[in-house]
Amino acid sequence: MKFTIKARLPSKAIIGLIILVIALALFLVKNQEKDDWIDISNDDPITDEQLEDSDSEDTAVIEETIVVELAGQVNNPSVYILTKGSRVYQAIELAGGLTEEADTRNTNLAAYLQDEMKIYIPSKEEVEAMEEQTGTKAGSDYVGGSATKNTSVQSNIVNINTANSTQLQQLRGVGPATADKIIEYRKEYGQFKSIEDIMNVSGIGEKTFENLKNFITVE
């Protein structure tokens, strides 16, 4: 007797189960892709914020700089950019240091710099001439540590009632001709009673006075 074995075809239940498994797998894959997309989108605002903070920091750095001019007895007289809060000695270092003829006895090297300031370092000859004219020994204001925060940076503050031609020319916009006019005015009319009186000198108007007023005194 011969027996014939026939393979049974998958039942409908098995086919349904297979379809369910495939559908579940597709759902999980799709859901994972969605989660990845959400994670990426959530990171975007953080990146933008970091960029904004970086831009703000760069702007702050630009705003915290000052520009000063170094003149007189420094090795490289020029205009220099420094960080706000810098001191006179730091500006001198940028200018290559002092020359052998420099005299800083009237210079407060520890003073803070201000934007648009002109720093003039006089020579030994100029300081000696000032000593003879004023009768005051150079550096006497600093003896015993008497110098204060409000003390002149150095000879940068010029007394227009006593300054000679060389000292007057330390001022921005004052050349030999204008310096001579100031001296002639003093001889003819006497000392200036206020710094505003310098505008009575021919060639010095309001615009020039605005550039001078923070660097001159009559006392």
Domains and CATH numbers, the chain: 62-152 (3.10.560), 157-219 (1.10.150.320)
Q: pLDDT tier at 24 (50, 70, 90 boundaries)?
A: confident
Residue 109 near residue 87, CB atoms below 8 Å: yes
Q: Tell me if the pTM is above 0.75.
A: no
Q: In 52-126, which ranges are E strands?
A: 65-72, 78-83, 118-121
Q: Which residues neighbour 205 within 8 Å (Cβ) at sequence distance 6 or greater? A: 199
What is the average per-residue pLDDT within 116-123?
Answer: 88
Q: How confident is the model at residue 160 (pLDDT cuts 50, 70, 90)?
A: very high
SS3 80: strand
Token pair recorded at residue 101: 């003829």
**Nearest by Cα to 93 from 110, 74, 113, 121:** 74
* Residue 192: C-alpha distances to residues 92, 158, 183, 206, 212 (Å): 33, 13, 11, 16, 14
At 34-87, the pLDDT tens digits run 555 444 444 445 555 555 665 555 554 556 899 999 999 999 999 999 999 999
Return the structure tokens found at 1.
């007797």
Tens digit of pLDDT for each residue in 81-108?
999 999 999 999 999 999 999 999 888 8
Where residue 149 falls among pLDDT bands split at 50, 70, 90?
A: very low
Q: How confident is the model at residue 210 (pLDDT cuts 50, 70, 90)?
A: confident
Please give the distance of CA 54 from its chain centroid, rounded to a whole number. Answer: 19
Instruction: Give the per-residue pLDDT at 152.
Output: 37
The residue with greater pLDDT, 171 or 12, is 171
Confidence of residue 208 (pLDDT cuts 50, 70, 90): confident
Q: Give dist(CA 142, CA 72) in Å, integer.
A: 21
